[in-house]
Amino acid sequence: MPTQEILDSVLEEVRPLIGQGKVADYIPALAKIPASKLAIAVFTNEGELIKSGDADEAFSIQSISKALSLTLAMGIYQPEEIWSRVGKEPSGQAFNSMIQLEMEQGIPRNPFINAGAIVVADLLQSRLSAPRQRLLEFARQLSGDSHIVYDKVVAASEMLHSDRNAAIAYLMRSFGNFSNDVIPVLNNYFHACALKMSCADLAKTFSYLANKGTSVQTQKQIVTPTQTKQLNALLATCGLYDGAGEFAYRVGMPGKSGVGGGIIAVVPGEMTIAVWSPELDASGNSLAGTKALEILSERIGRSIF
Amino acid sequence: MPTQEILDSVLEEVRPLIGQGKVADYIPALAKIPASKLAIAVFTNEGELIKSGDADEAFSIQSISKALSLTLAMGIYQPEEIWSRVGKEPSGQAFNSMIQLEMEQGIPRNPFINAGAIVVADLLQSRLSAPRQRLLEFARQLSGDSHIVYDKVVAASEMLHSDRNAAIAYLMRSFGNFSNDVIPVLNNYFHACALKMSCADLAKTFSYLANKGTSVQTQKQIVTPTQTKQLNALLATCGLYDGAGEFAYRVGMPGKSGVGGGIIAVVPGEMTIAVWSPELDASGNSLAGTKALEILSERIGRSIF
Amino acid sequence: MPTQEILDSVLEEVRPLIGQGKVADYIPALAKIPASKLAIAVFTNEGELIKSGDADEAFSIQSISKALSLTLAMGIYQPEEIWSRVGKEPSGQAFNSMIQLEMEQGIPRNPFINAGAIVVADLLQSRLSAPRQRLLEFARQLSGDSHIVYDKVVAASEMLHSDRNAAIAYLMRSFGNFSNDVIPVLNNYFHACALKMSCADLAKTFSYLANKGTSVQTQKQIVTPTQTKQLNALLATCGLYDGAGEFAYRVGMPGKSGVGGGIIAVVPGEMTIAVWSPELDASGNSLAGTKALEILSERIGRSIF
Amino acid sequence: MPTQEILDSVLEEVRPLIGQGKVADYIPALAKIPASKLAIAVFTNEGELIKSGDADEAFSIQSISKALSLTLAMGIYQPEEIWSRVGKEPSGQAFNSMIQLEMEQGIPRNPFINAGAIVVADLLQSRLSAPRQRLLEFARQLSGDSHIVYDKVVAASEMLHSDRNAAIAYLMRSFGNFSNDVIPVLNNYFHACALKMSCADLAKTFSYLANKGTSVQTQKQIVTPTQTKQLNALLATCGLYDGAGEFAYRVGMPGKSGVGGGIIAVVPGEMTIAVWSPELDASGNSLAGTKALEILSERIGRSIF
């Protein structure tokens, strides 16, 4: 089990890496985040929260939300309704590539690349009356933090730079793999990305992934044990963009990253971990965050492999 | 822990699937294997072997040998010598595609697609005086079965149908990622694929993957605990061709398949499993074999996720 | 010079081919055109019009309009303003592929694939106050036929099936190669495709391509002699989708086809030819129309090669 | 008709461009050619040879030989025997790309990219007893220059750098589109590329392309008038690598370039032109050579468009 001391020392060990990565700058709201932010939080299946650094400061979780949206969709759709529209395989390409999407007839490789997450947003739009509000409540309940909000500036800024994602949505529509109007679905998708949560929030929120589907925070069952295993499998093979293999090799935990610099990772049966450091590596994953997880994995002797 | 009874019942459960897949037929020697063959073997970290069906019958392990060759290479090369020449990421494409290889300057995605395994064969060729003999001895020692041989008919037949793999090797050479003459390296590569081993042999051979790098059979350390974790991570993300995500989703174990219909799978800390059923699914993995592992995983409640 | 007799006999010779191609059916308005329609018209640089078959019946000119739009753009833009945004090379891919567009950073290969024509529509939108009306007047003047109209049903139907083209436009926008709102530009683009013109209209309209840039019909200079040569060069290498090589091989004239079954072809210095037969070959070009041009080329001994 | 004066002035006009391109350096034998070489030769259908600069100095014709090899193949094979194995369309990709070749099942796009020319070499190998000697005699007869030889150093050097072309040949073999052993065919292919000819030789050699298939030099019929038209069509759409569209736009003549810096161009019915300047542009075509043809085309008012 990680102690406060271990978490503190892990952060000190990776702090010198700050300056070697690059803060996401495709929208101004992300570009202005100080590169010096650094945080880690662990939430154990016993309900203990251990944290270090800026672990209570909320940041833009970005693509980490894709794991939350998929969880929501798995609760309201039959498996075949989801997996006929999005695959389960690593993409082997950059997260927003359209080449594979065209060659594979509009079926995205997995729910964690942009195209796949947009399909999930389309699914939520079709069956929920207020998908945006529902996702927010879901995050608030799972984290126990009622102050979680959407960062409206980020969401609006994403919408202003949405051409690539609009192209993806229209391409899927041209293949019959998109049911709703493009704009509102993208708007919800960008809001999900604009969720502001802290590492403490995130570690608590995803505790069901370490606890056979039951939230440690709320003690409610979110997904079945089998679905939990499936979610972790998808995270392990597809959760880190085109760096999933490297992450498995170095860290050895199912995980999901976001371009805001956050990463969540799961030690099934034991704990959920969240890290944050805004600078990204070449694959778009938090550079110091990945290193922190790698060191922690060695220090506590935990990995799925 | 799996019992004899469990293994027997798993095989009975999947036997009706025979007829729904397709035996590999790109070389005659594989095409003539009876589709009815069915086997499973489990080797625990305590040294217990449990088996059912045709578990003592040797078959062509094909790409399962890629895990063995990589293990051998990791013992004689520094990590950076290997990973500068082959990646660690899933390919997202068919196992023998050259498109990605050209776009990524002759660096194969991972050591378990053909291109990557041919790079590993090139590495072994450069540093071993008799790589083919060495690999055979390695398999014999790890399995404790001194009767393991290369199937000369299969190896010769592969060599006769080697144009695609020759194209791959020459393309890598044109990018400076191939050091030896193409033909002898391919010949060794095809011999590795032509190793004949039974499920019992395979479960014992790969026991080091479940036992922090130490062979349960020989009690010798084959790779370090960290290398073991790395090997399992690579198997989990890249070991099943373009079906790694589906395999993780359904089975949840690091694994490696071959077009001969064999699959090995690892439960770290507990056991190694080998299955065999010659008919393949659309991704080139044993159809009934995958199902057997999926059922066994549920029955014994074991998975890495 | 072709005579009435030659044109009649060419049509009779190709009529048996009707039934071997496939009428475009991606929108209902095109699908319902009788496959039996067959027409040819020749307009000589001396102003003589020779025609046969349904040569006075207007049909949807579809992509033939791309040549007209480019001509319009060449009149109001400097060459570098156009050719920095769209290339001059054959695509080697299907006319609506997005793969190349992504790999080449949003710069379409040439102005005659959809992406390139949409860039031209974006250019016209930026500099003309009423681009749609202007194009219509252009067609009316050049043909001398004041009854030419847009087929509103076709334009509306295209707009309903515009997802693929919207994806193309948004992808180019994401690369900074699109200046206006997507919807109005697409709407104008679809209207251009929905121009209804007869073979007689088309042969007259494009007479400037055979006459060093001066319209034979109006005796006005439309483009310079050098621009005429450039337009013909682009038509010869890129005008027939992914069948330009085959068309050059068989017919040997610069040309532009549309999925409505029309093709225009140019014999520089002598004449412009228009053919119409709704059934298409595998490349999307009129099957009997191409054959008619091939036979005519042989019969009158004219080709650019 | 070009005069001596015109040719002299064209060369003076383009000479300042020397220094802006890049001499091919993938083999040493090409890299050492002085960048200052500059030549032009015109051979009219009346048999007049006009030349300027280094027009009698032999250089490595490289890919220009692909037009000669195809001519030879068209004389000994039925059209369908050739065109079932190689296409007639521009590739839209770099001349040695394997991506398209894999996606299109081993059928090269056209006979002027490497893959296509290797298929032609395979065809010649299958039906000629001494293809290498035959091609040499063909070049000697057509040019009337009995001193033409293969540059053995260049051929040997190409063979040493043949990995990419070997990959291409083996890939086609894996698709069943290659009949002979790879090495001897490549050896002949490289010898063809290593033909040493002057601009004067080249202009005379290809005179049949301007003269309905009959060599102006020998007055023998080399190909039929229809085949001549077909060859010119293929040259116009595919003869300049991925710069065919630009060449048509600027020069407006069927042509074929080589990385030795030579280009041949055809004015059907009038003349054949050869230029030489070793520095290449980004598409691999002679930079000053292309410009010389562009200026000459304007000066004499000749182009096919």
Q: By the CB < 8 Å criterion, does C173 face chain A?
A: yes
How far is the alpha carbon of C230 from chain D, nearest alpha carbon, in Å?
5
Per-residue pLDDT of chain B in tens (305 residues, 90 and over written 9): 899 999 999 999 999 999 999 999 988 989 999 999 999 999 999 999 999 999 999 999 999 999 999 999 999 999 999 999 999 999 887 667 888 899 899 999 999 999 999 999 999 999 999 999 999 999 999 999 999 999 999 999 999 999 999 999 999 999 999 999 999 999 999 999 999 999 999 999 999 999 999 999 999 999 999 999 999 999 999 999 889 999 999 999 999 999 999 999 999 999 999 999 999 999 999 999 999 999 999 999 999 99
CA–CA gap between residue A33 and residue A278 (Å, rounded): 7
Range scoring the smallest mean pLDDT among A32-41, B167-176, C96-105, D137-146 = C96-105
Q: Which residues of C touch A98 (CB under 8 A)?
A: 98-99, 102, 167, 171
Q: For residue D214, what are the β-bridge partners? A: D221
Under a CB-based contact definition with an 8 Å cutoff, are residues D269 and D207 in contact? no
Q: By the CB < 8 Å criterion, does C133 face chain A?
A: no
Average pLDDT of chain C?
96
CA–CA gap between residue B170 and residue D168 (Å, rounded): 9
**8 Å CB contact of A252 and B246:** no
Decide if pLDDT at D98 tops 90.
Answer: no
Q: Which residues of C touch A99 (CB under 8 A)?
A: 98-99, 102-103
Q: Which residues of A touch B89 (CB under 8 A)?
A: 90, 92, 242-246
pLDDT in tens, D167-201: 999 999 999 999 999 999 999 999 999 999 999 99
CA–CA gap between residue A42 and residue B151 (Å, rounded): 52
How far is the alpha carbon of B236 from chain A, nearest alpha carbon, in Å?
7
CA–CA gap between residue D16 and residue D14 (Å, rounded): 6
- Residue A81 DSSP SS3: helix
pLDDT for B95 equals: 61
Decide if pLDDT at D284 tops 90.
Answer: yes
Using 50, 70 and 90 to split pLDDT, how confident is the model at A95? low
In our burial notation (b when 16+ CB lie closer than 10 A, e otherwise), range D11-47 reads: beebeebbeebebbeebebbeebeeebbbbbbbbbee
Structure tokens at C111: 């102005």
- Residue C38 DSSP SS3: coil
Percent of chain D predicted with pLDDT > 90: 94
What separation in angstroms does the CA of D1 have from each of C59, C269, D6?
Answer: 44, 18, 9
Q: Are strands D49-53 and D279-280 parallel, antiparallel or unpaired?
A: unpaired
Under a CB-based contact definition with an 8 Å cutoff, are residues D122 and D175 in contact? no
Q: Which residues of B touch D98 (CB under 8 A)?
A: 98-99, 102, 167, 171
pLDDT for D197 equals: 98
This model of the complex carries an ipTM of 0.94
Task: For residue C42, report the phi and psi dihedrals to the nearest 5 degrees.
Answer: -125, 135
pLDDT in tens, D8-41: 999 999 999 999 999 999 889 899 999 999 999 9
Q: What Rg value do the Cα atoms of chain A yield, rounded?
A: 18
Partner residue opposite A233 with nearest CB, options B93, B238, B305:
B305
Using 50, 70 and 90 to split pLDDT, how confident is the model at A99? confident
Residue type, A94: A
Burial environment of residue B68 by CB neighbours within 10 A (0 to 12, 13 to 18, 19 or more)? buried
**8 Å CB contact of D174 and B164:** yes
Partner residue opposite A92 with nearest CB, options B92, B246, B248:
B92
Q: Mention every residue, 6+ apart, whose C-beta is less than 8 A from residue A188.
A: A121, A124, A125, A131, A132, A135
Angle between helices B4-14 and B287-300 (to 10 degrees): 140
Residues 246-275 of D with CB under 8 A from C: 246, 248-249, 252, 254, 268
Q: What's the whole-number mean pLDDT along residues C223-240?
A: 97
Q: By the CB < 8 Å criterion, does C181 face chain A?
A: no
| Nearest partner of A279 among A289, A265, A266, judged by Cα | A289
Decide if pLDDT at D136 tops 70.
Answer: yes
Domain D4-300: assigned CATH number: 3.40.710.10
Percent of chain C predicted with pLDDT > 90: 94
Residue with tokens 């309905």: D212
Q: Which residues of A touch C174 (CB under 8 A)?
A: 163-164, 167
Which residue in B247, B249, B283 has the most chain A C-beta atoms within 10 A of its own C-beta, making it the best mutation to test that interface? Answer: B249
Under a CB-based contact definition with an 8 Å cutoff, are residues A297 and A38 in contact? no
Q: Which residues of B touch A109 (CB under 8 A)?
A: 92
Read off the DSSP letter of residue C214: B
Decide if pLDDT at D93 tops 90.
Answer: no
Helix (H) or strand (E) holding C102: helix C99-103
Partner residue opposite A305 with nearest CB, options B87, B232, B252:
B232
Helix (H) or strand (E) holding C262: strand C262-267
Helix (H) or strand (E) holding C163: helix C163-174
Burial environment of residue A34 by CB neighbours within 10 A (0 to 12, 13 to 18, 19 or more)? exposed
Structure tokens at D292: 């010389």
CA–CA gap between residue B51 and residue B5 (Å, rounded): 10
Nearest residue of D to residue C228 by CA position? D305
Q: What Rg value do the Cα atoms of chain C yield, rounded?
A: 18
pLDDT for D34 equals: 97
Partner residue opposite D163 with nearest CB, options B97, B99, B170:
B170
| Nearest partner of B236 among A232, A147, C303, C107, judged by Cα | A232
Structure tokens at D294: 């562009």
Domain A4-299: give its CATH superfamily: DD-peptidase/beta-lactamase superfamily (3.40.710.10)
Under a CB-based contact definition with an 8 Å cutoff, are residues C172 and C178 in contact? yes
pLDDT in tens, C183-222: 999 999 999 999 999 999 999 999 999 999 999 999 999 9
pLDDT for C96 equals: 72
pLDDT for D92 equals: 82
Nearest residue of A to residue B241 by CA position? A89
Q: What is the DSSP string of A147-204?
A: T-EE-HHHHHHHHHT-HHHHHHHHHHHHTT---S-HHHHHHHHHHHHTEEE-HHHHHH
Q: Mention every residue, 6+ apart, whose C-beta is less than 8 A from residue B256.
A: B63, B64, B66, B67, B112, B235, B239, B240, B263, B264
Burial environment of residue D112 by CB neighbours within 10 A (0 to 12, 13 to 18, 19 or more)? buried
Task: For residue D212, report the phi and psi dihedrals to the nearest 5 degrees.
Answer: 55, 30
Residues 43-102 of A with CB under 8 A from C: 97-99, 102
A177 is in an annotated binding site: no
Dihedral (CA of A217, A221, A223, A228) sign? positive
Q: Which residues of A touch B236 (CB under 8 A)?
A: 236-237, 248, 304-305
Domain boundaries along the sequence of chain D: 4-300
Q: Angle CA(D226)–CA(D64)–CA(D268) in degrees, nearest 5?
A: 35
